[in-house]
Structure 1
Amino acid sequence: MTWVFILVIAVLVLGVMIFVLKLPRTGWEITAAALLFGVSGYALQGHPGLAGAPQAPVENAKLADQTLIKERQQMGAAFGQGQSWLILADALTRQGQFGAASEILRKAIAKSPNDADLWVALGNTLVGHTDGVMTPAAQFAFQKAANIAPDHPGPPFFMGLALAQGGRLAEARALWAELLARSPADAPYRADLQERLQRLDSMIAEQAQMQGAVQGAPAVPPPGTKSSQQ
């Protein structure tokens, strides 16, 4: 039945073009040939019997960590005036639309280039867009925020997080340790920072143990070689 409908639609389209749009007679044959060519192409590649399978945009599959958004909001309440832009960017980030959020933040920064909160948020969206990889653009955004507001806890925290995700544990620890040392005792993010720093220390210790075990392991002769005792 699907093919019947397709042929009927093709005939109707041709009829509309001839009788309604007044297609010249000299163009009837080429128009009919074009319609048949389209139908034949669908016949070769189309699968009308298959169920629909709509797919979400690629970025939607990478939903943001809601904890990190809340963390940034706690850290960035007093270092800028771009809250309306941040609300929109956060909404896009929650849906995994990191690229769109980055574009919003770039426009906001163009209007408020000295807003440290906007630069921190931009760094986060750039890191999210690359699945946690610290790119030069993200590092520049974090460093720009740190230069604008040296007391802002966001740049060292989120830069350290990106470095840790990239395996640069020692660099991440240095940033977090310095941030913890200067954080007020009642800072809302202090407890989370301490917990993350402890987990990072455990990871560094495990990494050191693994490296020591590999370095202390006896050399294994290549397959096919004879030992010195034989």
Structure 2
Amino acid sequence: MIWIMVAALALAAFAVAVLAFRLPRVTWTSLAAALVFGLAGYTLQASPQLPGAPRANMAASYTDEWQMRDARVLLVGESLKSRSNAMVTSDAFAQRGQFTNAVGFADIAIRENPQDFEAWLALGNALVEQADGALTQPSLYAYRQASAIAPDNPAPSYFLGLSLIRQGRMLEAYQIWRGALERMGEGGPPAQAFMAERVARLESMLAQAGALPPAREAAADQGE
């Protein structure tokens, strides 16, 4: 039901802009694309079944809306899982929205083992949240370090793409996610299904908005 209400609000916003503010016809396509991108971001990120919470409640945003740790555990897999006790503490602080402390303990895990793939991911995620969702040079560096340790693992690309989506950079996120999915090959663990589902959703949204490159849009129309 909530999705119908959100779509109705988007249509109402379009109607008000066109009829009440008499926007020129040449701007209608841009306005429609902006509304579609907004709906795309909501669909990918929101949890409408959850009760409302203020923006200041970073812990609720981190654990319920974004489910960062759950996605990280799924994508990392057992073979690349961190063995550091500092990571347990880092996650605990992150779940409380205390991202500065989360960064500190992820850094401890990395200093213990510079090849700790999951610790680099946790550091990147905590740095993004510490910057209120913005990608920074330190967070990009953390994701790149994780990618260097395990080039075929999709987790760094997934979280980088998620950060781009939060900034409205949907096409960039799609390109990064699709590349990560292609590097995973055929078959595989639940992580591949997780990535494939998100790539398909984002591709469909971009196709509906007319924002895919021509070759990809044609493939999407053929149901690739």
TM over 0.5: yes
Q: Could you say which residue in structure 2 is the equivalent of 1:103?
A: 104
Q: Could you say which residue in structure 1 is the equivalent of 2:83?
A: 82
Q: Could you say which residue in structure 2 is the equivalent of 1:162?
A: 163
Relative to structure 1, the CA distance from residue 142 to residue 85 in structure 2 (aligned partners, 3 Å threshold; closer, same or farther) is same
Q: After superposition, what is the alpha-carbon deviation per residue over 1:64-86, rounded to whole angstroms, capped at 9, x for unaligned?
A: 13532111012223225434222
Letter in 2 for 1:65: T
Letter in 2 for 1:191: A
Q: Could you say which residue in structure 2 is the equivalent of 1:208?
A: 210
Q: Could you say which residue in structure 1 is the equivalent of 2:174?
A: 173
Shift of 1:59: 9.7
The 5-angstrom pairing of residues 102-121 of structure 1 reads 102-121=103-122
Shift of 1:205: 3.1
Bigger radius of gyration: 1
Considering fraction of residues, name the structure with more helix: 2
Q: After superposition, what is the alpha-carbon deviation per residue over 1:170-206, rounded to whole angstroms, capped at 9, x for unaligned?
A: 2211121122223352322233322322232233235
Shift of 1:96: 1.2
Aligned partners of 1:81 and 1:195: how far apart in 2?
26
Which runs of no fewer than 5 residues in structure 2 stay unpaired?
1-53, 212-224
Which runs of no fewer than 5 residues in structure 1 stay unpaired?
1-57, 210-230
- How much identity, in percent, do the aligned residues show? 32
In the superposition, the TM-score normalised over structure 2's length comes to 0.60
Relative to structure 1, the CA distance from residue 80 to residue 190 in structure 2 (aligned partners, 3 Å threshold; closer, same or farther) is closer
Q: Secondary structure at the match of 1:128?
A: helix
Letter in 1 for 2:126: T
1:93–1:125 CA contact under 8 A, matched in 2:
yes
Letter in 2 for 1:93: A
Shift of 1:132: 1.9
Q: Could you say which residue in structure 2 is the equivalent of 1:11?
A: none
Q: Could you say which residue in structure 1 is the equivalent of 2:69?
A: 69
Q: Which moved more, 1:93-102 or 1:200-209?
A: 200-209
Letter in 1 for 2:192: R
In the superposition, the TM-score normalised over structure 1's length comes to 0.59
Q: Could you say which residue in structure 2 is the equivalent of 1:133?
A: 134
Q: Secondary structure at the match of 1:167?
A: coil
2:152–2:180 CA contact under 8 A, matched in 1:
no
